[in-house]
Amino acid sequence: MRILFVAAEAAPIAKVGGMGDVVGALPKVLRQMGHDVRIFLPYYGFLPDKMEIPSEPIWKGYAMFQDFAVYESVLPGTDVPLYLFGHPAFTPRRIYGGEDEDWRFTLFSNGAAEFCWNYWKPEIVHCHDWHTGMLPVWLNQSPDITTVFTIHNLAYQGPWRWYLEKITWCPWYMQGHNTMAAAVQFADRVNTVSPTYAEQIKTPAYGEQIEGLLSFIGGKLSGIINGIDTEVYNPANDKYITQTFTTDTLDKRKANKIALQEEMGLEVNSGAFLIGMVSRLVEQKGLDLVLQILDRFMAYTDAQFVLLGTGDRYYETQMWQLASRYPGRMATYLLYNDALSRRIYAGTDAFLMPSRFEPCGISQMMALRYGSVPIVRRTGGLVDTVTHYDPVNNAGTGYCFDRYEPLDLFTCMIRAWEGFRFKPQWQELQKRGMSQNFSWYESAKQYDNLYRSMYGLPPQEEEETAPAPELILTEANGKS
């Protein structure tokens, strides 16, 4: 099938969070399964630093009283054709923010619709988050183009209808009161990125005010768990980490811990319990909970803590100040740095992710893959990807807690700190985590079936889509 992914992010060239990981990895796997998948992305001002882009556009269009140009390239490291939507509104060297954000991404969506109608006509347009939310509304005009809308973050719902009416075409049939609601109503299929979260968003606690609508469209709503790019994120051959390792050579991992302690200015001590966190610093990620207990945890234990993240100014300053109280034991790096994030996954003993809500979560899967034991709150995709450690039966992959309460997080972290003392059991726990299969293949199969269902086709037979050999985790050759 011809499928166009339309999104604001695509790793490795334009990524702020997990949506970039998904858009950067899923098309590659779907292409291996035989689909003609292409990506439509804004031409951000920083892109020429990261990849070759032809100077001549392949097509010029007009939307919302604006001229725009589309440039064709290939997503680096893949064979996925990449179309870049060129307009001066995207020239600044950033993805999100700025006063024109709502207008800018509505223009981008409108440009994508024009592109589908006039240049490359896909059978399916796969839209991601509110930035592309008007596409299902407009493409509703074209019976030969179907749409899938994936919710990565329900908390951001885009501009309200009264604003959209001022800047763009809102057809008479459109009912959604904001971009996200409109997309949910008009997309042929809606999915979010884990089965648990797909159920949770139908409730007031997680539905972000549109739980009624999400319950109403229940039949076309599903949850498909994300994967991670196991070729790119592979501890057996990752060139950004100090020492590569596999489950068979777990002892070598210690070199990464020592290198990380040196790099982040911590006391070098391979015996210390080192917890890491790589995160956007926003309410979703449970930062308020962390701030309520971390000081006490650091005072009570001899653990070390590293944080890599950017986000809300309040959380940035609070975490920064806390680090200054524990020199040599805690470090806060307020930056976005993919290479350093890998060294944190590869060098820490445990990875903290106490999210308030979590559609899926990519970071905990990366932590598991790199042998860092996740400490998570059981919500959304964290329920579907991390299982509770049971030392008696030697089962489970992480430390979990249920209630969004400081005391629950505190005791969970203490349990992990104590568990770390039992080295053989801890290593078994790490190995179990590293052996989980988070490759995109299983999820891609579900997306394939979702696409097929829109055309009345039966689900793909199991044997017809055997996993590509390079996606299977094989410790012997270090490939995944």
Among 226, 230, 261, 480, binds ligand ADQ (CB under 6 A): 226
Among 122, 381, 398, 419, binds ligand ADQ (CB under 6 A): 381
- Residues in the interface with ligand ADQ (CB under 6 A) total 27
Scan residues 30-69 and list those touching ligand ADQ (CB under 6 A): none
- Show Cβ contacts of residue 34 under 8 Å, excluding neighbours closer than 6 positions: none
**Interface with ligand ADQ, residue 336, by CB under 6 A:** yes
Does 15 appear as a known binding residue? yes
Residue closer to ligand ADQ by CB (options 102, 129) is 129
Confirm if 236 and 478 have CB atoms less than 8 A apart. yes
- Show Cβ contacts of residue 394 under 8 Å, excluding neighbours closer than 6 positions: 425, 428
**Interface with ligand ADQ, residue 286, by CB under 6 A:** no
Among 363, 385, 397, 480, binds ligand ADQ (CB under 6 A): 363
Among 6, 9, 14, 17, binds ligand ADQ (CB under 6 A): 17
**Interface with ligand ADQ, residue 160, by CB under 6 A:** no
**Interface with ligand ADQ, residue 229, by CB under 6 A:** no
**Interface with ligand ADQ, residue 310, by CB under 6 A:** yes
**Interface with ligand ADQ, residue 362, by CB under 6 A:** yes
DSSP codes joined into one string, 4-30: EEE-S-BTTTB-SSHHHHHHHHHHHHH
Rounded to whole angstroms, the Cα distance separating 113 from 109 reads: 6
Scan residues 70-129 and list those touching ligand ADQ (CB under 6 A): none
Diameter over CA atoms, the chain? 66
**Interface with ligand ADQ, residue 278, by CB under 6 A:** yes
Scan residues 124-153 and list those touching ligand ADQ (CB under 6 A): 152-153
- Show Cβ contacts of residue 274 under 8 Å, excluding neighbours closer than 6 positions: 257, 260, 261, 266, 303, 304, 305, 306, 347, 348, 349, 350
H or E element at residue 237: none
**Interface with ligand ADQ, residue 154, by CB under 6 A:** no
Residue closer to ligand ADQ by CB (options 22, 190) is 22
Residue closer to ligand ADQ by CB (options 19, 323) is 19
Burial readout 209-239 (b: 16 or more C-beta within 10 A, e: otherwise)? ebbebbeeeeebbbbbbbbbbbbbbbbbebe
Residue closer to ligand ADQ by CB (options 124, 353) is 353
- Show Cβ contacts of residue 1 under 8 Å, excluding neighbours closer than 6 positions: 35, 36, 123, 124, 451, 455
Confirm if 86 and 71 have CB atoms less than 8 A apart. yes
List, as residue ranges, the binding site for ADP-alpha-D-glucose. Answer: 15
Interaction site with ligand ADQ (CB under 6 A): 17-19, 21-22, 152-153, 193, 226, 278-280, 308-310, 336-338, 341, 358-363, 366, 381
